[in-house]
Amino acid sequence: MDFTLTEEQLMIQQAARDFAQQELLPGVIERDEEQKFPADQVKMMGELGFLGMMVDPNYGGSGLDTLSYVLVMEELSKVDASASVIVSVNNSLVCWGLETYGTEEQKQKYLTRLATGEIIGAFCLSEPEAGSDATSQKTTAIDKGDHYLLNGTKNWITNGGTADVYLVMAQTDAAKKHKGINALIVEKGMEGFEIGPKENKLGIRGSDTHSLNFNDVKVPKENRIGEDGFGFKFAMKTLAGGRIGIAAQALGIAAGAYELARKYSKERKAFGTEIMNHQAIAFKLADMHTQIDAARMLVYKAAVDKDQNRNYDLSGAMAKLYASQVAMDTTVEAVQIHGGNGFVKDYHVERLMRDAKITQIYEGTSEIQKIVISRSILKD
Ligand code: CAA
């Protein structure tokens, strides 16, 4: 498969690289320590078109392909994975779902503002008792004629406190199991909608993760996405694309840690020479480079599958499974190469190691990716 990047893709990649160095790097350690949401940077990313990258320009988006989106995710994640997950959720889980399955009215009302970053979105599937087992939704959306009455709790919601628009999966007809689930657009400020406390996380601490409570929230019928009972399929189809974004995030975290370790190995001296001259270090770098390149091939292939309208459930799951493992392995080794300096915050690699872990958990754990992959390869 030929991954030669076009002039336009190279320009977008460079723009993301410059933005990450100039706007994300300063303050990234403090934002991590203080769990501070990068509000100014999110605004700038909206202006750069990074929040609605694949959305049709008629709805305020940048009209780019998935490969360009992946390139941006990779560059942002090298420096600040908290900022990149905001980009990923808004693009893949919110804008894509609305553009693909929303009504014209919903697109005009919500997508046009989400794609420009005027507002941001959140995707609400996980619950206290339904994480990986997503068909077991306990949140209910009872049909009341012209509206749904929404009750329940959602957990670990990225952009939970800062979003304006929430795509919420809820059970309307429990007897129909997953075919009774609906996807509803809920706005911040709707009566009975409460944002729970912010989670104190191991990594991606600048991103804003909350639980959400819905107590008799009246959601107008016109806020349902797709036909009655389409909510679970909507979530699965949306997550299939989301996984490509998270795979790109994992790739970026790995590549960022590798670049720091490579640079450090050329500067740091031990036993009378730069540590890169010790085979113990050089071989670690060789492994890291090889694994990152392999992860990149999987991530780009999944993106190109999506761009060329091929099925990307399998390639997206493989990309996420592998890239997230590479992110973990690479960041652990980057800390090791840095020795004692790797264990303190100034050198960035300890943060990248903490940030890497979530890529094996959210938008489907590695075990869920293996379910998706094994079912796909065994179904014939
Ligand atoms: N596209 C379309 N339909 C799909 C699909 C896909 N990719 N995957 C499953 N479905 C459909 C199936 O066809 C089936 O429908 P039918 O009965 O009509 O055939 C239905 O969904 C149920 O599928 P399964 O029987 O396979 O369901 P299951 O209970 O075995 O679970 C699963 C399947 C893949 C494990 C799924 O539950 C899953 O993906 N779980 C993980 C959920 C997840 O990723 N959560 C992350 C939360 S979001 C997040 O992290 C957001 C954030 O803020 C960052």
Encode pLDDT of 221-239 as tens digits.
Answer: 999 999 999 999 999 999 9
| pLDDT for residue 380 is more than 90 | no
Which ligand 1 atom is the nearest neighbour of the CA of 159?
53
Quickly count: other Cβ atoms within 10 Å of residue 280's Cβ: 9
Q: Can you give the pLDDT at residue 87? A: 98
CA angle 222, 227, 229 (to 5 degrees): 110
Residue with structure tokens 């652990």?
332
Contact between residue 317 and residue 373 where contact means Cβ atoms under 8 Å apart: yes
- Contacts of residue 81, defined as CB under 8 A and 6 or more positions apart, other chains included, come to 203, 204, 249, 252, 253, 352, 355, 356, 358
What does the alpha-carbon distance between residue 259 and residue 367 come to, in Å, rounded to a whole number? Answer: 29
Which of 82, 135, 375 is the best mutation target for the ligand 1 pocket, counting ligand atoms within 8 Å of the beta carbon and taking the most?
Answer: 135
The b-or-e profile of 346-365 (16+ CB within 10 A means b, else e) is ebbbbbbbbbbbbbbbbbbb
Q: Can you give the pLDDT at residue 76? A: 98
Q: Please state the rounded mean pLDDT for residues 139-150.
A: 98
- DSSP code, position 4: P
Quickly count: other Cβ atoms within 10 Å of residue 112's Cβ: 18
The strand pairing partners of 214, in sequence order, are 152, 193
| pLDDT for residue 112 is more than 90 | yes
The strand pairing partners of 274, in sequence order, are 269
The strand pairing partners of 183, in sequence order, are 169, 225
Nearest-CA residue for atom 37 of ligand 1: 134
- pLDDT confidence of 109, banded at 50, 70, 90? very high
- Rounded to two decimals, the pTM is 0.97
Which of 233, 315, 355, 376 is the best mutation target for the ligand 1 pocket, counting ligand atoms within 8 Å of the beta carbon and taking the most?
Answer: 233
Contact between residue 206 and residue 218 where contact means Cβ atoms under 8 Å apart: no
Which ligand 1 atom is the nearest neighbour of the CA of 156?
53
Quickly count: other Cβ atoms within 10 Å of residue 40's Cβ: 10
| pLDDT for residue 127 is more than 90 | yes
178 lines ligand 1 (CB under 6 A): yes
167 lines ligand 1 (CB under 6 A): no
Contact between residue 165 and residue 122 where contact means Cβ atoms under 8 Å apart: yes
135 lines ligand 1 (CB under 6 A): yes
- pLDDT confidence of 3, banded at 50, 70, 90? confident
Contact between residue 132 and residue 367 where contact means Cβ atoms under 8 Å apart: yes
Quickly count: other Cβ atoms within 10 Å of residue 184's Cβ: 25
Q: Can you give the pLDDT at residue 82? A: 98
Distance 180 CA to ligand 1 centre (A): 14
Distance 236 CA to ligand 1 centre (A): 5
Q: Please state the rounded mean pLDDT for residues 27-43.
A: 98
Say whether 168 sits in a helix, a strand or coil: strand
Residue with structure tokens 């060789």?
286
What does the alpha-carbon distance between residue 70 and residue 296 come to, in Å, rounded to a whole number? Answer: 10
| pLDDT for residue 167 is more than 80 | yes
Q: Which residues are catalytic?
A: 363
- Tell how far CA 363 is from the center of its chain: 8
Distance 332 CA to ligand 1 centre (A): 31
Nearest-CA residue for atom 27 of ligand 1: 135
Q: Please state the rounded mean pLDDT for residues 340-349.
A: 97
Q: Which amino acid is at 324?
A: S
The residue among 1 and 252 whose pLDDT is bigger is 252
Q: Can you give the pLDDT at residue 2? A: 81
Q: How far is CA 3 from CA 76, 124, 150, 371, in A?
A: 20, 34, 46, 28
Which ligand 1 atom is the nearest neighbour of the CA of 134?
37
370 lines ligand 1 (CB under 6 A): no
Copy the structure tokens of residue 113. 């503002």
Distance 182 CA to ligand 1 centre (A): 14
- Which one, of 314, 246, 267, lies nearest residue 81 by Cα? 246
Q: Convert the pLDDT of each residue in 237-246 to its tens digit.
A: 999 999 999 9
Q: Convert the pLDDT of each residue in 61-87 to its tens digit.
A: 999 999 999 999 999 999 999 999 999
Helix locations, the chain, DSSP H: 7-19, 28-34, 39-48, 66-79, 81-88, 96-101, 104-106, 112-116, 231-267, 279-307, 313-338, 349-358, 366-378
Compute the residue count for the chain: 380
Which ligand 1 atom is the nearest neighbour of the CA of 372?
34
Distance 103 CA to ligand 1 centre (A): 23
Distance 16 CA to ligand 1 centre (A): 32
The strand pairing partners of 218, in sequence order, are 149
Q: Dihedral of CA 132/138/143/147: which sign?
A: negative
240 lines ligand 1 (CB under 6 A): yes
Contact between residue 181 and residue 190 where contact means Cβ atoms under 8 Å apart: no
Distance 368 CA to ligand 1 centre (A): 9
Nearest-CA residue for atom 11 of ligand 1: 233
Q: Please state the rounded mean pLDDT for residues 88-115.
A: 98
Which of 236, 315, 358, 366 is the best mutation target for the ligand 1 pocket, counting ligand atoms within 8 Å of the beta carbon and taking the most?
Answer: 236
191 phi and psi angles, rounded to 5 deg: -60, 130
198 lines ligand 1 (CB under 6 A): no
- DSSP code, position 127: B
What does the alpha-carbon distance between residue 90 and residue 361 come to, in Å, rounded to a whole number? Answer: 18
- DSSP code, position 320: H
Copy the structure tokens of residue 254. 């790995």
Q: Dihedral of CA 371/231/192/115: which sign?
A: positive
